[in-house]
Chains A and B, each alone.
Chain A
Amino acid sequence: MLEVKGLSAGYGDVQILREVSLAVDDGEIVTLVGSNGSGKSTLLNAICGIIRPTAGLVRLDSTDITGWNSEAIVARGITQVPEGRRLFPTMTVHENLLMGAYRRRDGQGIERDLEWMYAMFPRLKERQKQQAGSMSGGEQQMCAIARGLMAKPRILILDELSLGLAPIMLDTLVDAMQKIHREGTTIFLVEQDVATAFDLAKTGYVLENGRVVLSGPTAELKTNPHVKRAYLGL
């Protein structure tokens, strides 16, 4: 569904990404892992139209979306749950979710999806009327994911799902991600917590210094000695 080929990009004169290629097939969970400074955010910015790549292309299904601006890309069905959540802090949880459905016109569909979200995340239902900014980190993460899903995306991109989350909250979210995936959403997970990422995804890419250095089924990557040493601390 999502294809990235030979993508190079950077900021000003500094090149960060060097000919990155990856693919996310329909209905898959794919993960891209890497440390700080490896270029993960730059890659997402390039895919989602926040910066223009200097070379290469990004394709959604068969449409070339390279260099398109963000609004057009979101309209095509790519939704990102940004790093650090970026909720609307003074709006309530409910309002944040409605904002996720901003582009949609199907009132009944939106109602149904809201029910789905509250069923999946009962904590959010409890805090429906609470200001999003006053919730704890894990609850905010839940809200951000739910908001992303309200857009009914074809592909959901998660940027640093595990950042600042208590281990048990991560359990809840991983379970939720697996459920969402089973119900048909394609997920592209950009993560630093390699253990969690490999638990969730079947296919993985490892980014180092702007280059994809390893790729393949996560079951294999888990046993790769470089990965074990550098990322799993084993």
Chain B
Amino acid sequence: MPILEARLVTKKFGGLAAVSDISFDLGEGEILGLIGPNGSGKTTLVNVICGALPRTAGNVRFKGGELMGLPTHEISRLGVSRTFQVVKPFRNLTVLENVMVGALFGKTGGARDLGTARREAEAVLEFVALAHRARAQADGLNVPERKRMELARALAMRPTVLFLDEVMAGLNSAEIDAAVALIKKIRGRGVSLIVIEHVMKAIRSLSDRIMVLFHGEKLTEGPPDDVLNNPEVVAAYLGRRYAERARA
């Protein structure tokens, strides 16, 4: 059974439909890539599924239970976590403390005391290779470090399903390779992932399947090779320079 089932998810702002009748499944242990032009509704979709925005219509079942209508914190307690496109660090706390908040809260059953939370947070920081910055102030990190902290915080929440929203933006080629490897390690731990990205190199190597959104609707979905060579997708999203480079 898929771990996440979305059916006809719709979100309207006034008369404008930001997201329209989106249905998809996320298999257990799968990495689903989510791509689409800016403004196609990717982040809105994540916001609706994770309870940050109320839906207009549709259902999302997680492990058989309905998510729609639940407040954000309850969805997190159930085991659905997300990172934010524009990272939201707790600026006046250290990196370790930031991640400890994830360990203390997040999915039910986590650490209740600071000592355990600290140990768990340290373990997560080791896993994402940010342990050397544990005592640094969160607002003193550079861009890739901030993204990794955002990721560490979400991981500390012990998610079953994790939404990653453009974690690769601003990373160079080598950093992207490292991030891809890390995300695969995360999947290896049993987490199912939905990854929103514009960095094609990453999406191609990460995704088991890719879903394409366009103007709030699902354009197509399928294995990476099929989707990225689909002429509709090239026209709507990839553009001619990408196609030229891919041919070269």
Contacts and interface: CB of A to CB of B under 8 A. Distances in A.
A202 B242 CA distance: 20
A167 B169 contact: no
B239 A136 contact: no
A230 B144 contact: no
Given A37-B142, A136-B39, A195-B245, A164 B198 contact: yes
A167 B241 CA distance: 8
Interface stretch (A54-62, A65-73, A90-98, A169-177): A169-177
A214 B240 CA distance: 29
Contacts of B39: 135-139
A230 B38 contact: no
A165 B241 contact: no
Contacts of A169: 37-38, 239
A36 B171 CA distance: 7
B1 interface: no
Most-contacted residue by chain A among B38, B85, B239, B240 (CB, 10 A): B38
A199 B241 contact: yes
B172 A168 contact: no
Interface in B120-141: none
A167 B170 contact: no
Interface band, chain B: 20 to 34
Interface in A106-141: 135-139
Contacts of A167: 198, 200, 237-239, 241-242
B142 A192 contact: no
Given A36-B171, A138-B39, A163-B169, A171 B198 contact: no
Given A166-B198, A167-B242, A168-B37, A232 B173 contact: yes
Contacts of A36: 142-144, 170-172, 175
B36 A171 contact: no
B185 interface: no
Contacts of B198: 164-167
A12 interface: no
A163 B166 CA distance: 10
- Nearest 7 Cβ contacts at the A-B interface: A136-B39, A136-B38, A168-B239, A171-B239, A138-B38, A233-B173, A35-B172
14 contacts: A36-B171, A36-B172, A136-B37, A138-B39, A139-B38, A165-B198, A166-B38, A167-B237, A168-B242, A169-B37, A171-B240, A174-B241, A192-B172, A230-B174
Interface of B: 35-40, 85, 142-144, 166, 169-177, 198, 200-201, 236-242, 245
Given A36-B144, A232-B173, 20 more contacts: A36-B171, A36-B175, A136-B37, A138-B37, A138-B39, A160-B170, A164-B85, A164-B166, A165-B38, A166-B37, A167-B198, A167-B239, A167-B242, A168-B236, A168-B237, A168-B239, A170-B241, A192-B170, A196-B241, A233-B176
